[in-house]
Structures are given as C-alpha cells and as structure tokens.
Structure 1
Amino acid sequence: MALITSLSQLDPNGSYTYADYLTWQFDEFVELIKGKVLRPMAGASRRHQQLSKRLEYAIETHLRRSQCEMYHAPFDVRLTRSAEGSDTRIQTVVQPDIF
C-alpha cells in the first residue's frame, strides 16, 4: 500500500476503514462516516466553544463521584454495529468535542 501523506492522495469515492485511517500521515483533520472521508466544517465558533466548555464542566462535575471518565477532542471514537469491531471492519471514526 502506498504511503498516504496528503488528503489529495485519497480517492474521494473510495471506501476506507479505521485501519486505513491509522496509516495516514497528513496534518488535515478528517473523520470517516460509513467509509467515506469527511473534512469537518471550519473551526468552531466562539459560541460553540463557550457552550462546549460549560457542557464539559457540567458533565465533569456530575462524574466526580463515579468511575466514569470524560475525554475531549482529539480522541478517536470508533463506531461499529458489531461487537467484533476489528480496525479493518470499522468504517466510522469521529472526534466529538466531548466523549
């Protein structure tokens, strides 16, 4: 497989997996939705950042007395319909603001 160092090297009509995604060596931020490469919209607005910060604080406060943990971007979240979600079968990977 050829080394992917630029988003332009990917076939826009191609279908990719998390295993493919892990090998890409470029700086652009992308997500996979059902195997398709998507570039998220432009940077988050100030209002979005304010709301995200408040939501993160509220969730963190709620979780303090539990064993649950919260993460924030960048953090790959792999979505699969199968319990046997190997990297070669996962076709949806996102990086939500808060997870």
Structure 2
Amino acid sequence: MPTIVTDINELDLSGTYTYADYLLWEFEERLELIKGKIFKMSPAPGTLHQRLSTKLVGNLFKYFENNPCELFSAPFDVRLYDTKKSAVADRDLYTVVQPDICVVCDGSKVDERGCLGAPDLVIEILSPGNSQKEIYNKFLLYQECGVREYWLVEPNQKAVLLYALDETGRYVGVQPAVKVLQSIIFPELKIDLEKIFN
C-alpha cells in the first residue's frame, strides 16, 4: 500500500517522481514536478505579485465571462504529459505545475484534480525567488507540451513578454508589451498594462 509522505525531507530531492507519488505528499511546502524533478516553489507570493495577479484575473474574467473557456488561478494543478503516448495514467505523468493563471478552452481537460493536458494560455508572474533555470525550464516545457500562448509578467520592468506557438510548434515572441497587451490567440483580448502595473 502506498505510503503518505508528511515531511519533504523524507524525499530524495535529486530523485525522479510521478504524479502518483505527488498525490501522496501531505506537507506544507509547495512544489512542482517538471519531468519528474522536484522544484520547490517560493513561499506565499508577495504583495506586488498578488496585486498583479488579481488585476489580471479581473480583466480576464470580464473577457471570458460569456466564453466557453475557463479561467483558473493558483493553486491549480496542471498535469502535463508526452502527447505522443496514447494512455495517460498517474504513474505516467512526470510533470505537475501550478501556473499563476491559466485558461483552458477544452472542457474535457478539466477534472476535480485540475487540468490534464496543456491549457490554451498560461501566465506566470516573476517573483524574486524565480530562478533563471526555472524560467528557462518552464518556457521549454510549455512549448513542448503545446501551451498555445504564454505570458511572462515582469513586475520590475513593468512589461509582459508574450509568446505564441507557430505552425512548427515553437514559440515566437512579440515585442514586449508595456502599454497595451493584445493576445495572439484571443485577438479581442486587450489589457491596459499601465492600469495593471499602476
């Protein structure tokens, strides 16, 4: 019978884990699994991070209110998998992330545990605790798993970096948005960034 883990120190942080393992972890530390490797998340986000998240969610809620796409904010598990495999079981899932904000348009991907498969839009807000390695890994991960659009919010620069998948499945970036952000996959979605960062 599987054993519940209540102390993160019981884990080998250099080991490889699956979503089935993740379901047995009952400790306070927040973490994500990226290709089976544990990435500790920062403690509760700071005030600036929360203000930006709230303002973005407010704008997105208005846009998606009468839309079949659903809006979610962290903590919300997104289980990503190798789309080349036909069967997906908890033991076959090696990646579980908690994006700050995500939008899922395919309702069949949403269940009681979160989202299984790539959301259409993922938004990550950078915090002082985000390492360059984590940013790099998530960029490649979201691209590889088919997240159609990825926003990277840079609070210090008061800018948003926007990437959208092209026809080859690779991210193409547009000029950093500092005044108005316009989505590529939702062209009518425009956000006044001066109000967001004010």
Report the TM-score when normalising by structure 2. 0.47
Aligned equivalents of 2:11 and 2:71: distance in 1? 32
Deviation, 1:2, is 4.0
Deviation, 1:49, is 1.2
Aligned to 1:91: 94
Aligned to 2:7: 6
- Per-residue CA deviation, residues 3-47 of structure 1 (Å, 9 max, x unaligned), is 311100001111000010001122221111110111112432222
Counting only pairs closer than 5 Å after superposition, residues 1-99 of structure 1 correspond to structure 2 as 1-82=2-83, 83-99=86-102
Q: Which moved more, 1:87-96 or 1:44-53?
A: 44-53
Aligned equivalents of 1:59 and 1:81: distance in 2? 29
Asked if 1 retains the 8 angstrom alpha-carbon contact of 2:5 and 2:27, the reply is: yes
Q: Structure 1, unaligned stretches of length 5 or more? A: none
- Secondary structure at the aligned position of 2:60 is classed as helix
Aligned equivalents of 1:42 and 1:23: distance in 2? 21
Q: Which moved more, 1:25-34 or 1:39-48?
A: 39-48
* Aligned-partner residue type, residue 91 of structure 1: Y
* Aligned-partner residue type, residue 92 of structure 2: R
Report the TM-score when normalising by structure 1. 0.88
Aligned equivalents of 1:41 and 1:32: distance in 2? 14
Identity of aligned residues (%): 42
Aligned equivalents of 2:17 and 2:37: distance in 1? 6
Size of the alignment, in residue pairs?
99
* Aligned-partner residue type, residue 22 of structure 1: L
